[in-house]
Structure 1
Amino acid sequence: MASIARCLRAARPSTTFSRLAAATTPRAPPGWQLRAFSASPCRDLRRYTKDHEWIDVSADKTTGVVGISEYAAKALGDVVYVELPEVGREVQAGDAIGAVESVKSAADINSPVSCTVVAVNRPLEERPGIISEVPEDDAHGGGWIAKVELSDQGRKDFDALLNPDEYAAFTDAEH
């Protein structure tokens, strides 16, 4: 019993530390109220094509990230090869920018908008299965295909794509 009590006593903050923390905590001037601020992450805008690609664009609609949808990844099955687009390539909406091959089939990856490819997800070349595991993840290590800069036409193309609810209804109708 004594050893448990010693451990608990050691884990409790010392009163000296508590007094020091209280002394250094900022205080509001008299008559003012402290207000807690929270920051929520800036959410990218996501849209889908009827060919099952997605694009997340920044709030100013100048840059984006492209990939294939979870629906497409499930339909493909285990992806064994991913052909990535060439960096610097300018494409129009609907142009093929790459391809995926799985144990079931192969499919082109089409650009959802008019854009220029500025970066590609190189880890997909060595581990194409990532695209099956996390197809709609645009983070490092996710299944995204390319990062792009949207042209003026690309911003117009984006507005014509399906929002998440419309895409869900579209895929439900495909069953």
Structure 2
Amino acid sequence: MTEETPTGSTSTTPFPAVLTRRADAETCADPSSVMTLLGESDATPGGFTSYRSTFAEGAVGAPAHFHTRATELFFVISGSLRVLVGEEITVLDEGDFLAVPPHTPHAFAAAPGATADVLFVFTPGMGRFDYLRLLSRVMRGEADPKEIAESAERFDNHYVDSPVWRAALAASA
């Protein structure tokens, strides 16, 4: 895309427009999900990171964690996603939207008996594609899980224990 300021416009754009064509999008896959990296811009405080994840039936997405700087947005394109927010578990269905503010523990997985196709957006962005690539390598056994713990500050991804989430996963196993 080209950057142009419309004639007579006085607004400024905080970052250039980001366009990712479906055929050009990078994917990261593991045995139970595929992440399609859509776009990110961390050049300004208004930046973002966006990706799409498709989860196989019974796939576990992310363990309980929180972000200190980013709000995480979920939009369910199809299927059903089970989500922990704080200490409450709910199921998001096709068309449902959820915004999880900073410092709020959350986790997600495909709902029992369901697949899920979900659009994720983080704002502000912070180069999270490198985290998603690392996560994919760990899930495939190509990287040491310790690398994830060591990257917590860099990617603003802080794991926590959630007995509520562990019990929910165990009950559906």
Q: TM-score, normalised by structure 2?
A: 0.31
**Which protein is richer in strand relative to its size?**
2
Q: TM-score, normalised by structure 1?
A: 0.31
**Which protein is richer in helix relative to its size?**
1
Bigger Cα Rg: 1
